[in-house]
Structures are given as C-alpha cells and as structure tokens.
Amino acid sequence: DAKTTQPPSMDCAEGRAANLPCNHSTISGNEYVYWYRQIHSQGPQYIIHGLKNNETNEMASLIITEDRKSSTLILPHATLRDTAVYYCIVENTDKLIFGTGTRLQVFP
Amino acid sequence: EAEVAQSPRYKITEKSQAVAFWCDPISGHATLYWYRQILGQGPELLVQFQDESVVDDSQLPKDRFSAERLKGVDSTLKIQPAELGDSAMYLCASSLLVASDTQYFGPGTRLTVL
C-alpha cells in the first residue's frame, strides 16, 4: 500500500487559504488520493478525493501534481471550525490506511 | 442528511468485563467497517463486512474480539474480556459498494477500560 507523508502541524489565520501538502511518491496508477478530517472527539469526515485531475467541491479543492507523487488540499477561506486533524490517504481496493495526519490550527 | 449511527457514545468498564458496541450504517450501504483509534493515532481497520459476510478481519484480535452483521444491516462489535490496552475510540463506517467508494464515519464509541 502506498504511504503518505504529511507535516505534523500547521497554522493558518482565519479567512486565509489553508494549503495542506501531502507526499505519496509510491502511488500507483489506479490508487485514489482521499482527504478526511477529524475534529476533536468526532468521527473522520470525508472532504474530497481524486485520481488524476484537480477536484473542487463545496468544502475544498484538491490539486494533484502531474506525476501524482504529491497533492495539496486547499481550504480557500479557513474558519475556526476548520481546526482539525487532516488525513491524506492513498486508497487501494477500498482500504483506507490512515497515518497520523496534519493538525491544522486556525487562529483568529 | 443520512448518517452512520453508533451507540453508546461513551463506555467505561473494568478489565475482564465484556463490552459491546452497535453500529447502524447509512441505509442501503452494503459495506461496513469497524476501526479502532488509539489516542494520537489514525484509525486502524479491524474488520470489513460486505453485506453479512466478513471480507477482511486480518487485524481483528480474534481471541477477544468478535463482530457480526447478521442481516447485512446493523452490526455489533464485542470485546470479551476487555483489557486495559483496549481503551480507544471505536469507529464504524459504511460505503455504498466496495471498490473506491467513499466511506462515511459515525461519531464513534469512546471506550475506557479501568
């Protein structure tokens, strides 16, 4: 299973864009990149996923490099409620293998 | 919006006692997952069901853990006997089908073993 590398923590000012990086250099051609987040003491929440093309939904944008070895999750206007642990996961055959994620702290 | 339901939300038990957790997936979701999350770590898959059948329980400690999904809808995860190291969050997730379908998580059950 492809592994992912994320910074352990990041800060972001409220109202600014939060850009969360993820390296997945061993990803294979049929593996999706998924992003989930987990707010304290809650279950993980699905954010977005993609295979090759960039994706956008009401929560975030996902930018995947052309070689697919890294990706960036963008929260365009971070709010205090976006403070959470963000997990980047490479999914293969419907299995999600979580790492320790990036703890994003949004400050006023 | 449909959600995965779990109960109880919190459970405190003494070691060597039996505990059980219940999960009701989103209606129509064929695949159900149980995860365990130790504090400070990401969730780890324990067992995966496709309808009523177990498709992956390779990480389930079968000497003390059991899981069932008898009618292919709701599911129960049991620990007997509980040990101190079982203190964790137990999460249930469901997805519509199997391959590459988004998993939706419930709120979890936080277990404390004293």
Nearest CA of chain B to the CA of A14: how many Å? 25
Residue B100 predicted with pLDDT over 70: no
Task: Give residue A2's pLDDT.
Answer: 62
Residues of A in contact with B107 (CB under 8 A): 42-43
Rounded CA-CA distance A37/B112 in Å is 24
Task: Give residue B97's pLDDT.
Answer: 77
Task: Give residue A30's pLDDT.
Answer: 84
Task: Give residue A98's pLDDT.
Answer: 87
Residue B61 predicted with pLDDT over 70: yes
Q: How far lies A23's CA from each of A69, B21, B46, in Å?
A: 6, 36, 26
Residue pair B33/B47 in contact by the 8 Å Cβ criterion = yes
User: pLDDT confidence of B107, banded at 50, 70, 90?
Assistant: very high
Task: Give residue B17's pLDDT.
Answer: 97
- Ordered per-residue pLDDT tens for chain A, 108 residues: 668 999 999 999 999 999 999 999 989 888 899 999 999 889 999 999 999 989 999 999 999 999 999 999 999 999 999 999 999 998 876 678 888 899 999 999
Angle, CA B11 vertex, CA A45 and CA B26 arms, to 5°: 35
Task: Give residue A96's pLDDT.
Answer: 84
Rounded CA-CA distance B105/A40 in Å is 14
Rounded CA-CA distance A49/A1 in Å is 17
Is the CB of residue B83 less than 8 Å away from at least one CB of chain A? Answer: no
Task: Give residue A91's pLDDT.
Answer: 81
Cα Dmax for chain B: 39
| DSSP code of residue B62 | T
- Give the burial class of B97: count Cβ atoms within 10 A of its Cβ; 0-12 exposed, 13-18 middle, 19 or more buried: exposed
Q: Please enumerate in sequence order all residues whose Cβ is within 8 A of that of A43, keeping only pairs 6 or more positions apart, or say none.
A: B4, B91, B93, B105, B106, B107, B108
Which of B4, B31, B100, B111 would you mutate first to test chain A, the one with the most A CBs within 10 A? B100
Residue pair B19/B109 in contact by the 8 Å Cβ criterion = no
Q: Computed over its alpha carbons, how large is the radius of gyration of chain A?
A: 13
| SS3 assignment, position A81 | helix
Task: Give residue A104's pLDDT.
Answer: 98
Rounded CA-CA distance B109/B114 in Å is 16
